[in-house]
Amino acid sequence: MRPEHKPKIIAFCCNWCGYAAADLAGIQRIQYPDSLRIIRVMCSGMVHPEMVLHALNKGADGVMIIGCQLGECHYIDGNEKAMARAELIDELLEDFGFENDRFLITRLSSSESEQFARTVGTMHKRVLELGPNPNSNQDNGDTP
């Protein structure tokens, strides 16, 4: 009998908003799925499509990019660059055989801790419905 699938979701979080919203959720003790692994980046615009593909190729079940609201980027237009790259990522996912639902980009302000938790919960449900990433190796504990 195969053990229940425990998804792994990688979230590239902007230092100023996405990460701050996650931190605030922790301070407020807002629950969200423990499938999330946060990678703090200075700006969502720094997340290159290769980073998303690398995480999926290493077995992550889903990848998120969480950046600032439009017009609130500390690096002027980094979040706009991230949104433009998201279109490329969607195309690449299909080319590499991954479902588009394994990727999500969103924008939050630093005070949106409840929205952060809801977004993570939504992504968790999506990857559960998709099932394990074909590249994952649940048996040996490899973590992307």
pLDDT digits (tens, 9 = 90+) for 111-131: 999 999 999 999 999 999 999
- The count of domains in the chain is 1
Question: Does residue 138 lie in a domain region?
Answer: no
Question: Does residue 90 lie in a domain region?
Answer: yes
Each residue of 35-75: pLDDT tens digit?
999 999 999 999 999 999 999 999 999 999 999 999 999 99
Question: Does residue 137 lie in a domain region?
Answer: no
Question: Does residue 55 lie in a domain region?
Answer: yes
Interatomic CA distance for residues 126 and 64, integer angstroms: 12
Residues 102/61, Cβ–Cβ less than 8 Å: yes
- Largest Cα span, the chain: 52
Specify the pTM: 0.92
Tell me the CA end-to-end span of the chain in Å, nearest whole number. 25
Alpha helices in 4-144 (DSSP H): 18-27, 49-57, 78-95, 113-130
Residue 122: both structure tokens together: 């939504």
Question: Does residue 66 lie in a domain region?
Answer: yes
pLDDT band, residue 144 (cuts 50/70/90): low
Mean pLDDT of 91-105: 96
Exposed, middle or buried, 80 (CB in 10 Å: 0-12/13-18/19+)? Answer: middle
Measured from the Cβ of residue 135, the count of other Cβ atoms closer than 10 Å reads 17
Taking alpha carbons only, the member of 121, 102, 33, 110 closest to residue 64 is 102
Question: Does residue 118 lie in a domain region?
Answer: yes
pLDDT at 107 over 60: yes
Question: Does residue 46 lie in a domain region?
Answer: yes
Exposed, middle or buried, 95 (CB in 10 Å: 0-12/13-18/19+)? Answer: exposed
pLDDT at 110 over 80: yes
CATH of the domain at 100: 3.40.50
pLDDT band, residue 4 (cuts 50/70/90): confident
Looking at residue 140, its pLDDT comes to: 42
